[in-house]
Amino acid sequence: MRIFLTGATGFIGSYVAYELLSAGHELVVAARNPEKLPALSRHPRVRRVQAELKQRGLMREALHGCEACIHVALGWGETPVSMLENDTLPSVALVEDCAALGVQKFIYTSSTAALGPFFASMSERDPTRPSDYYGATKAATEAYVLAAASKTGMRCNVIRPGYTFGNPVVEGATTQPDRRFHEIARAAKLGHDIRVKRGDGTQFAWAGDLARLYRAVIESEHSREVYYGLGATFSSWESVAEEAKTLASSSSRIVLEGEPRSACLFDLGKIERDFGLVFQSTEHIRQHLAYLLKNAN
């Protein structure tokens, strides 16, 4: 399958790219700087396109001949209008152009932030009630993507990643932009106090597992579905800090701050039922901390 992929030089996108290449697919990758990840650019089944999300003409031209599109890239903005202009509008335009050009399958990368406040138990059936503009643009684009599947016949699905982590997929690639793993590893290596919020944590997803979900969805015949991209079990930041201490043989103290938080658990039965996928992240967390400890300054 020839797949158009946005965000391929970013953290999640790079993992998705290599998962798809390992399955034999061809990629057309659009990026502001396609040379940001040279190893990917040199792959024989990758065609590079220098284009930003807002450059609709260039994006549309690159879509010709593609059978599927996976949209991972994010166009950031500091205000509601700039989020609309930089992300929502270009994403909706991409969906529209895919349908017009005969692209058969489309995956949109949303976020658990589209949901707004979390409750003790969450499922894909819960309504979106975003509480920030990032969540709002994700929820809005989700609605357009699912509507496009109904109006055009293109198979459209949504993946909502949660906290995703991992080492660089290849040399020169990046890790997750959130710095909490990095800060914990550095503090443990230096013997400094490790400060974490009491009871805070999530169902961490290793980027390699998340990429497997993208591959499963794009190779399926499902349409108008929403899938969570999360690990199966809840882990606290305190447990991450404990693991970092153990790996570093550290004398650091773990300092718990704030009032206890109740764990929110996402129901991941849908990806198990549809694709047989169950993601366990404990060993990957250990490997990621070992990598960060080795490279911490």
Per-residue pLDDT of the chain (297 residues; tens, 9 = 90+): 999 999 999 999 999 999 999 999 999 999 888 778 888 989 999 999 999 999 999 999 999 999 999 999 999 999 999 999 999 999 999 999 999 999 999 999 999 999 999 988 998 999 999 999 999 999 999 999 999 999 999 999 999 999 999 999 998 899 999 999 999 999 999 999 999 999 999 999 999 999 999 999 999 999 999 999 999 999 999 999 999 999 999 999 999 999 888 889 999 999 999 999 999 999 999 999 999 999 977
| 233: three-class secondary structure by DSSP | coil
Question: How far does Cα 206 stand from its chain's mean position?
Answer: 10
pLDDT of residue 136: 97
pLDDT in tens, 198-226: 999 999 999 999 999 999 999 999 999 99
* CB distance 262 to 199 below 8 Å: yes
Element (H, E) at 212: helix 207-218
Query: What does the alpha-carbon distance between residue 290 and residue 249 come to, in Å, rounded to a whole number?
Result: 12
pLDDT of residue 120: 86
Q: What are phi and psi of 129, to 5 degrees?
A: -135, 70
pLDDT of residue 222: 98
pLDDT of residue 45: 96
Q: What are phi and psi of 284, to 5 degrees?
A: -70, -35
Give me the long-range contacts of 84-91 (CB less than 8 A, separation at least 24): 84/137, 85/54, 86/53, 86/54, 87/53, 87/137, 87/141, 88/137, 88/140, 88/141, 90/53, 90/54, 90/56, 90/59, 91/53, 91/141, 91/144, 91/145
Question: How far does Cα 76 stand from its chain's mean position?
Answer: 15
Smallest CA-to-CA distance from 8 within 67, 50, 44 is with: 50
Question: How far does Cα 219 stand from its chain's mean position?
Answer: 18
Angstrom distances, CA of residue 232 to CA of 39, 56, 162, 265, 288: 32, 38, 12, 9, 18
The CATH class, in words, for 166-204+232-265+281-295 is alpha beta
Angstrom distances, CA of residue 8 to CA of 14, 136, 143: 5, 23, 24
pLDDT of residue 37: 86
According to CATH, where is 3.90.25.10 located in the chain? 166-204+232-265+281-295
Calculate the average pLDDT of the chain. 95
pLDDT in tens, 262-294: 889 999 999 999 999 999 999 999 999 999 999
According to CATH, where is 3.40.50.720 located in the chain? 2-164+205-229
Angstrom distances, CA of residue 244 to CA of 148, 164, 199: 45, 18, 17
Query: What does the alpha-carbon distance between residue 194 and residue 186 come to, in Å, rounded to a whole number?
Result: 9
CATH fold of the domain at 2-164+205-229:
Rossmann fold (3.40.50)
pLDDT in tens, 104-120: 999 999 999 999 999 88
- Percentage of residues in the chain having pLDDT higher than 90: 91
Q: How many C-alpha atoms does 166 have within 13 Å on its Cβ side?
A: 23
